[in-house]
Chains A and B, each alone.
Chain A
Amino acid sequence: MIPSPFDYVRVSSVDEAVAALAEHGEDAKILAGGHSLLPIMKLRLAIPSVLIDISGISELNYVRVEGDQVAIGAGTRHHDLENSEVAKAEVPLLPHVASRVGDPQVRHRGTLGGTVAHCDPASDLPTALLALGGSVVLAGPNGRREVPITEFFLGFFETAMEEGELIVELRVPRTGDAGWAYEKFTRRENDWPIVSAAVAHLPGGRIGVALANMGGVVLKATAVEAALAEGKSIEEAAALAAEGTSPSSDMHADAEYRSHLARLLTRRALTVAAGEAEASTAESTAAA
């Protein structure tokens, strides 16, 4: 399968990328690792007339502490995030989830900004970002703006990005050694999750919970979060995990089974994050 013809533009700075987007209009697409975009181009689900390759922009590849947040360049590859000492110390959920994406070859190419922009409802890292909170920094014709992650994923492959914008940075709170967990249910080890649950204990004592593949977009488990904030037990809170979701039925699981998985995985993740040893598997994604 070969994509439809397109023109290719290589840029070496964010300003050049913004200028190229402005010049080529809505038929242009940003290319980073290409591991979400090229597959859908091969299937003709996307037929951009121009690709703007930002993978050579070295200023987009970093993980660093800024105040009480960790800032991650949008061009950071999953492999780099997985191995980042800063990320491991400051927000360990993220490098762990990065290590659960696809396979080594995929992690060598795929980028954090790419997976966020792609907005697949079954995507691992967006789920983790949603549990953590934080924001997406966009660059566009009118400069930079920051969108809370909770307002970024709008619907099925639909984000809050406006025409002419690209993602330049992701910002998440520093959680340090507070509890976290990622429970992912798949047929094969690191496939796309049939359902997954991410949990992060956040500064200020709140607990963030998010789910993958329980609707057209990654979701925050708001009923679970509210129940926990009211002091309900893990059991009680996790029982609410499927509330407000609209899971689909497909060859992997029907909607009812997905709802069951959401409750089960949320309970496991909350338990692991709380440091109470309920192991889902021999190598459960244990944490602090």
Chain B
Amino acid sequence: MQVSMTVNGQQRTDEVEPRMLLAHHLRDNLGLTATNIGCDSTSCGACTVIVDGLSVKSCTVLALQAEGSQVTTLEGLAGEDGELHPVQAAFQSEHGLQCGFCTSGMVMASVGVLAANPNPTDREVREGLEGNLCRCTGYHNIVQAVLKAAEAGPVAGQVPQTQEVSA
């Protein structure tokens, strides 16, 4: 079946099998491989992307369910000039990663956390990221990175495209 969606600001129309998951569509059809698949069972959050302003686990969404949606992946966060999004910059400066496998999902989920709550406490960050697992268990620096990103203000909870992130 045909599916159309706006991915990182670009209109994309592709043929997909109904059973194709959004995560696979992004990775295999659109070549956007920042979105990782870890558990493939809605547990780890590695596949988190933002759909119509809300963070979702793309391993548990059909590509067809994103018909007409605005989708943002990690590739869509940095500015056109390559300037890092405040959450990306904070993950870098606070060293919020070790092997990096969970990182794109953590960053996308963090944008969602900051959209819902621009000034979170340490505990609120931890609760907001409860759907994301880091197998290197570097949670402390991840939380620090989100708190640091919050210092950039509301922009830390937004994506560059026209869409609004609401949570």
Contacts and interface: CB of A to CB of B under 8 A. Distances in A.
B18 A190 contact: no
B22 to A, nearest CB: 10
A6 B57 contact: no
Contact of B62 (A1, A34, A79, A104): A34
B130 interface: yes
A121 B42 CA distance: 19
9 contacts: A34-B61, A34-B62, A35-B42, A55-B65, A104-B112, A104-B128, A105-B55, A106-B57, A109-B57
A188 interface: yes
A39 interface: yes
Contact of A79 (B54, B57, B64): B54
Contact of B64 (A3, A53, A102, A103): A53
Interface in A239-282: none
Interface string A138-164: 000000000000000000000000000
Contact of B21 (A2, A51, A106): A2
A24 interface: no
Interface of A: 1-8, 10, 31, 34-35, 38-39, 42, 51, 53, 55, 79, 102-106, 108-109, 188-190
Interface residues of B, number: 32
A31 to B, nearest CB: 8
A185 B31 CA distance: 42
**Which 6 A-B pairs rank lowest in CB-CB distance, beginning with the nearest?**
A103-B131, A8-B18, A108-B54, A3-B19, A105-B57, A103-B130
Contacts of A105: 45, 48, 55-57, 109, 112, 131
B16 to A, nearest CB: 10
Interface string B37-70: 0001110010010000011110011101101000
Contact of B113 (A4, A104, A106): A104
A5 B17 contact: yes
B29 to A, nearest CB: 14
